[in-house]
C-alpha cells in the first residue's frame, strides 16, 4: 500500500518521507523500487517520531501571494501537538514542525494566545484557499479533549485568522463514530474549490453517523461562499461500518489527499467505493482520481489525508 501511494504521487510532486532509522530507510527504498518508483523523486529524513500521522503533528504551511513589491513565499506554522490530548507519547512528534522548517529553510511561527502555544492538528481543519476554514465544534470547542483549556471560540478564531489568514470559520457539529481525534473535519467535509464542499452522508437512520452528518449537511446548506451565493454541496456516501477487535474504525472517503494532477482516495472493498470514486472524479475534473485500498491502514484509525501533509510551492 505504501509503495502504491508513492508510485502515484512521485510523477506529480516530490515526495518526502520521514523514517526513524537507516534500517527502515533501506527497507522503504527496496519497497519503492519493487513498485517501480523513481527514487530520484523521493527524499528520506531520519528523524525520531511517535507515529505516522504527519497531517496532525507536522507543520501547517502558509503561502504569501506575489505582489508588485515582493515575490511569493512559503512559511510554516508550528502549532502545538499533544497527542490529541489523549496519548502520552507525542513529544517527538511535536518537535517535527521545527525540524522540517529548518531543513527546508522556511520562516516559522509558533501560534500563541496569552503566552500559551495553541494546540491544533492539521486534520482538524480544511481551507478553501480564499479565507474560509471548516472545523467541528466537537474537536476544537469541546471540553472533553482539553486541547486548549480556557480558549473560547472568539480567541481561537482570532488565532486562526492571524496565523492562517482565515476570514471566517464554518463550524460543523460532530465528527464520525470511531474517530479518536474527537471529530476531525477530514472525515466529514472537505473543500473541492473555493465554493464547493464535499460532505459525508449516511442515509441509514439506524447508523450512529446518520444524525450528526445530517446536522452537518443542514448547517452547510445555510452557508454562503465568497461570491455571496450558497456553497455547492456534493454528498459523498459512507462505507459500511468496519470494526476491528470490537471497535468501530473511522472509515471515510473524505480522508482523500489532493496532489498535483491526482487525488488519492481511500477505498475499503465496499459497494460504495465505486460511487465515491465517481463522485470525486466529477468534482476534480483537472485531476486523475485513484483509489487506494486502506483496509490495513484504517486499523490505525486514519488513512491517506492523515498520512500526508502538502507543501505549497513558492
> Of 32, 118, 254, 306, which one is the catalytic site residue?
306
Distance separating alpha carbons of residues 251 and 302, to the nearest angstrom: 8
What are the Cα distances from residue 310, in Å, to 71, 102, 114? Answer: 21, 17, 30
Which residues are CB-contacts of 75 (< 8 A; sequence separation ≥ 6)?
61, 62, 63, 64, 106, 107, 108, 109
Which residues are CB-contacts of 55 (< 8 A; sequence separation ≥ 6)?
121, 122, 123, 186, 302, 305, 306, 307, 308, 309
- Are 111 and 76 spatial neighbours (Cβ–Cβ below 8 Å)? no
Which residues are CB-contacts of 289 (< 8 A; sequence separation ≥ 6)?
262, 263, 265, 277, 280, 281
139 in active site: no
- Are 197 and 231 spatial neighbours (Cβ–Cβ below 8 Å)? yes
Q: How far apart are the first and last CA of the chain?
A: 30
Distance separating alpha carbons of residues 119 and 141, to the nearest angstrom: 12
Which residues are known catalytic residues?
306
Amino acid at each position: 500500500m505504501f509503495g502504491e501511494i508513492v508510485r502515484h504521487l512521485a510523477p506529480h510532486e516530490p515526495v518526502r518521507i520521514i523514517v526513524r532509522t537507516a534500517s527502515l530507510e533501506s527497507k522503504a527504498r527496496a519497497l519503492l523500487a519493487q513498485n517501480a518508483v523513481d527514487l530520484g523523486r523521493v527524499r528520506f529524513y531520519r528523524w525520531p517520531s511517535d507515529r505516522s500521522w504527519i497531517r496532525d503533528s507536522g507543520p501547517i504551511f502558509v503561502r504569501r501571494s506575489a505582489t508588485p513589491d515582493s515575490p511569493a513565499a512559503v512559511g510554516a506554522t508550528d502549532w502545538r501537538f499533544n497527542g490529541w490530548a489523549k496519548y502520552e507519547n507525542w513529544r517527538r512528534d511535536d518537535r517535527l514542525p521545527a525540524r522540517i522548517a529548518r531543513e527546508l529553510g522556511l520562516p516559522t511561527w509558533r501560534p500563541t494566545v496569552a503566552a500559551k502555544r495553541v494546540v491544533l492538528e492539521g486534520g482538524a481543519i480544511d481551507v478553501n484557499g480564499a479565507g474560509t476554514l471548516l472545523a467541528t465544534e466537537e474537536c476544537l470547542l469541546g471540553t472533553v479533549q482539553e486541547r486548549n483549556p480556557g480558549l473560547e471560540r472568539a480567541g481561537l478564531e482570532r488565532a486562526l485568522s492571524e496565523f492562517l489568514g482565515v476570514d471566517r470559520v464554518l463550524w460543523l457539529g460532530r465528527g464520525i463514530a470511531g474517530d479518536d481525534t474527537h471529530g476531525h473535519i477530514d472525515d466529514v467535509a472537505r473543500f473541492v474549490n473555493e465554493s464547493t464542499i464535499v460532505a459525508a452522508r449516511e442515509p441509514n437512520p439506524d447508523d450512529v453517523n446518520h444524525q450528526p452528518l445530517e446536522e452537518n449537511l443542514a448547517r452547510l446548506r445555510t452557508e454562503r461562499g465568497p461570491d455571496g451565493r450558497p456553497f455547492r454541496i456534493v454528498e459523498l456516501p459512507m462505507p459500511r461500518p468496519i470494526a476491528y477487535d470490537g471497535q468501530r474504525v473511522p472509515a471515510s472517503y473524505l480522508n482523500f489527499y489532493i496532489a498535483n494532477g491526482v487525488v488519492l482516495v481511500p477505498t475499503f472493498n465496499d459497494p460504495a467505493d465505486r460511487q465515491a470514486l465517481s463522485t470525486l472524479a466529477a468534482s476534480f475534473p483537472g485531476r486523475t482520481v485513484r483509489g487506494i485500498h486502506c483496509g490495513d491502514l484504517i486499523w490505525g484509525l486514519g488513512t491517506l489525508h492523515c498520512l500526508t501533509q502538502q507543501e505549497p510551492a513558492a
